[in-house]
Structure 1
Amino acid sequence: MGAATVLELQAGELHLALAPDVGGSIASFRRRWHERAALRELDWLRPAGAEGLAERHPLAMASFPLVPFCNRIRNGRATFEGREIRFPPNHPAEDSPHPLHGIGWQRPWRVESAGSSRAVLTLDVPAGPAWPWRFTARQTFDLRPDSLMVRMALTNEDTAAMPAGIGHHPYFPHEPGTRLTAAAQAMWEADEEVMPTRLAETEEVRQLRRGVRLADLHTDNNFTGWSREACIEWPADAHGPERSLVMQAEAPLDHFVLYCQRGLDYFCAEPVSQCTDWLNLMDRYGPEALGGARLEPGETLSARFTLTPRW
Structure 2
Amino acid sequence: MRTLLSGTQHALRAGDYEAVISSVGASLRSFTHGGRDLTVPFDADEVRPSYRGATLAPWPNRVVDGTYVFAGVERQVPLTEPARHHALHGLAAWLDYEPIDKESSHVTLTATIQPQTGYPWRIRVETTFALGADGLTQTVTATNESPDAAPWGTGPHPYLVAGPGHVDDWTLDLPAAEVLQVTPDRLIPIGLAPVDGDDPERFDFREARQIGAVELDHAYTALSRGADGRAVVRVTDGDAGVEITWDAACPWVQVHTSDKGIGKPGHRTGLAVEPMTCAPDAFNADRYDYDAGLIVLEPGASATASWRISAIG
Tell me the SS of whatever aligns to 1:158: coil
Shift of 1:144: 0.9
User: Is the 1:48–1:60 Cα contact (8 Å) retained in structure 2?
Assistant: no
Distance 2:32 2:189 in 1: 34
Q: Deviations over 1:51-108 (max 9, x none)?
A: xx324325264x11111111101111111113332101124xx533201111111211
The superposition leaves residues 250-275 of structure 1 with CA deviations (integer Å, 9 ceiling, x where unpaired) of 12211010111455212201100111
- Give the drift of 1:177: 2.4
- How far 1:195 moved relative to its partner? 1.3
Residue type of the alignment partner of 2:41: P
Q: How many angstroms does 1:309 deviate by?
A: 1.0
Q: Distance in 1 between matches of 2:201 and 2:60?
A: 21
Task: Say yes or no: does 1:266 pair with 2:260.
Answer: no
* Residue 303, structure 1, aligned to residue 305, structure 2: yes
Report the counterpart of residue 245 of structure 2 in structure 1: 248
Q: Which residue of 2 aligns with 1:47?
A: 41
Say which of 292, 295, 301 aligns to 2:294. 292
Match of 1:156 among 141, 144, 155: 144
Are the counterparts in 1 of residues 51 and 93 from structure 2 also a CA contact under 8 Å?
no
Q: Distance in 2 between matches of 1:135 and 1:197?
A: 30
**Aligned residue among 198, 207, 220 for 1:210:** 207
Q: TM-score normalized by structure 1?
A: 0.87
2:279 alignment counterpart: 275
**1:294, 1:212 → 2: CA distance?**
38
Q: Distance in 1 between matches of 2:287 and 2:222?
A: 19
Q: What is aligned with 2:55?
A: 65
Match of 1:56 among 44, 47, 50: 47
CA RMSD of aligned residues (A): 1.9
Give % identity: 24
Q: Which runs of 5+ in 1 are unaligned?
A: 33-40, 236-241
TM-score (norm 2): 0.86
Q: CA deviation at 1:205?
A: 7.7
Tell me if the contact between 1:137 and 1:153 (Cα under 8 Å) persists in the aligned partners. yes
Residue type of the partner of 2:273?
Answer: A
Q: What one-letter code is carried by the residue in structure 2 that aligns with 1:291?
A: G
Residue of structure 2 in register with 1:8 after alignment = 11
Which residue does the alignment assign to 1:231? 234
Provide the C-alpha distance between the structure 2 equivalents of 1:167 and 1:145, rounded to a whole number of angstroms.
23
Pair 1:188–1:267, CA change in 2 (3 A): same
The amino acid of 2:87's aligned partner reads P
- Asked if the contact 1:223/1:256 (under 8 Å) is kept, the reply is yes
Q: What one-letter code is carried by the residue in structure 1 that aligns with 2:146?
A: D
Match of 1:300, as an amino acid?
A: S
Picking from 192, 202, 222, the partner of 1:199 is 192
Equivalent residue for 2:99? 111
Between the aligned partners of 1:210 and 1:216, the Cα distance in structure 2 is 17
Q: 1:181 aligns with which of 173, 176, 190?
A: 173
Give, as a single letter, the amino acid of the residue that structure 1 aligns with 2:40.
R
1:295–1:204 Cα change, 3 Å: farther
The number of aligned residues is: 288
Which residue of 77, 84, 102 maps to 1:87?
77
**1:279 is paired with a residue of what secondary structure?**
helix
Richer in helix (by share):
1
Alpha-carbon distance in 2 for matches of 1:60, 1:304:
18
Q: Deviations over 1:13-59 (max 9, x none)?
A: 11010001x21101101023xxxxxxxx210001113xxx3243252
